[in-house]
């Protein structure tokens, strides 16, 4: 019986079984893509010395099952998120619009709560904030603990209020990545890259919102968010920019496929190079090499 039902391809399973039979195998001669995939699945791990080790069968199965259950749970959440629109069509007898107008702050807040209930990825921009809603704080912290990914851009003037600044720093440290920007921005919420909320009247959220599901508009709004994100600065930047060694390791990881080749290019031993990689993973909070590039890009290092 194969592991295909748990999201493992035949080739990935073959490589994992090889590591089980041959613990301590050097990864230099093995397809880097497969190794990174097994690291992502947590079937392989990188030790403090930078060496790759295999995870035992029992722990591996538990991790694969847990991952698959999370995937199924996410799929079910997406399905159930359709229920409000189905109920609305059943009640009104009319199709739901791809751009819908909601009047008033109360109706808007209700719809935002509904949209956020099953979301797994949230992008937001905040040009201003007058107060901190305890319900929002509790919900965001709970979502972060459950693994929901948040990225937020806030205008620098929002930090003038000590209470608001403390709130942003609290949820930033809990995992909601915040960046600060000086240029004008508009209020924006995007859930799962599928549904967006923007004010009917810019600068006046109390008037209501437009709920947007039209794919072309969503892609444009995501593009605007990413452009602003790239120009913004981290709410609590690291004490130092990446060192020359870290920049070199990032470059070598991107250009060269094997540790041995990268170590030679750097003029160090393979063990030393892998130690640099392990240090970089720790600083970036990356679970594996697959995430290093993405985390470095988020911080503007590459």
Q: In whole angstroms, what is the distance from residue 156 CA to residue 179 CA?
A: 9
Q: In whole angstroms, what is the distance from residue 150 CA to residue 172 CA?
A: 9
Q: What's the token pair of residue 6?
A: 């748990």
Q: In whole angstroms, what is the distance from residue 136 CA to residue 28 CA?
A: 48
Task: Give 274: exposed, middle or buried? Use CB within 10 Å, 0-12, 13-18, 19+.
Answer: buried
Rounded to the nearest integer, the mean pLDDT of the chain is 82
The sheet with strand 188-191 has its strands ordered as 99-103, 208-212, 195-199, 188-191, 121-126, 149-155, 177-181, 233-234
Helix then strand then coil, % of the chain, to nearest 5 = 55, 15, 30
Question: Is this prediction's pTM over 0.85?
Answer: no
Structural domains of the chain, with CATH: 4-79 (no CATH), 96-234 (3.30.870.10), 244-298 (1.10.10)
Residue 239: its pLDDT value, please? 47
Query: 60-86, pLDDT tens digit by residue?
Result: 888 888 887 777 766 655 555 555 555
| Cβ neighbours for 101, distance < 8 A, ≥ 6 positions apart | 200, 208, 209, 210, 211
Residue 156: its pLDDT value, please? 92
* Per-residue confidence in pLDDT tens, the chain, 302 aa: 678 888 888 888 888 888 888 887 777 778 888 888 888 888 888 776 677 888 888 888 888 888 877 777 666 555 555 555 555 555 656 555 688 889 998 899 899 888 888 888 899 999 987 778 888 889 888 888 877 888 999 999 999 888 998 999 888 888 788 899 999 999 999 999 999 999 998 888 888 999 998 888 899 999 999 999 888 888 876 645 777 788 888 888 877 767 788 888 888 788 778 888 887 877 776 767 777 877 787 777 77
Query: 172-196, pLDDT tens digit by residue?
Result: 888 788 899 999 999 999 999 999 9
Task: Give 249: exposed, middle or buried? Use CB within 10 Å, 0-12, 13-18, 19+.
Answer: buried
Q: In whole angstroms, what is the distance from residue 300 CA to residue 298 CA?
A: 5
Q: How far is CA 286 from the centre of its chain?
A: 11
| Cβ neighbours for 131, distance < 8 A, ≥ 6 positions apart | 163, 164
């Amino acid at each position: 019986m194969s592991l295909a039902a748990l999201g493992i391809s035949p080739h990935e399973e073959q490589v994992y079984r090889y590591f089980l039979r041959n613990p301590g195998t050097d990864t230099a001669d093995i397809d880097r893509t497969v190794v990174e995939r097994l690291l992502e699945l947590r079937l392989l791990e990188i030790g403090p010395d930078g060496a790759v080790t295999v995870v035992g069968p029992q722990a591996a199965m538990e991790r694969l099952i847990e991952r698959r259950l999370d995937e199924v749970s996410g799929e079910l959440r997406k399905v159930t998120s359709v229920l409000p629109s189905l109920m609305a069509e059943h009640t009104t007898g009319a199709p739901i619009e791809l751009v819908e107008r909601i009047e008033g702050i109360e109706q808007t807040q209700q719809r935002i709560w509904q949209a956020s209930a099953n979301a797994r990825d949230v992008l937001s921009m905040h040009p201003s904030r007058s107060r901190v809603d305890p319900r929002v704080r509790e919900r965001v912290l709970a979502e972060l603990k459950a693994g929901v990914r948040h990225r937020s851009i806030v205008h620098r003037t929002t930090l003038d209020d000590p209470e608001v600044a403390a709130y942003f720093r609290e949820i930033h440290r809990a995992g909601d990545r915040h960046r600060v920007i000086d240029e004008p921005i508009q209020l924006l919420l995007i859930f799962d890259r599928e549904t967006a909320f923007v004010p009917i009247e810019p600068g006046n959220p109390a008037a209501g919102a437009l709920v947007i599901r039209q794919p072309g508009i969503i892609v444009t709004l995501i593009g605007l968010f990413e452009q602003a994100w790239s120009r913004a600065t981290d709410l609590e930047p690291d004490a130092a920019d990446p060192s020359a060694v870290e920049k070199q390791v990032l470059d070598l990881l991107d250009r060269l496929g094997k540790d041995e080749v990268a170590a030679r290019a750097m003029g160090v031993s393979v063990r030393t190079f892998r130690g640099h990689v392990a240090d970089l993973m720790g600083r970036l909070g990356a679970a594996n090499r697959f995430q290093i590039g993405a985390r470095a890009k988020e911080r503007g290092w590459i």
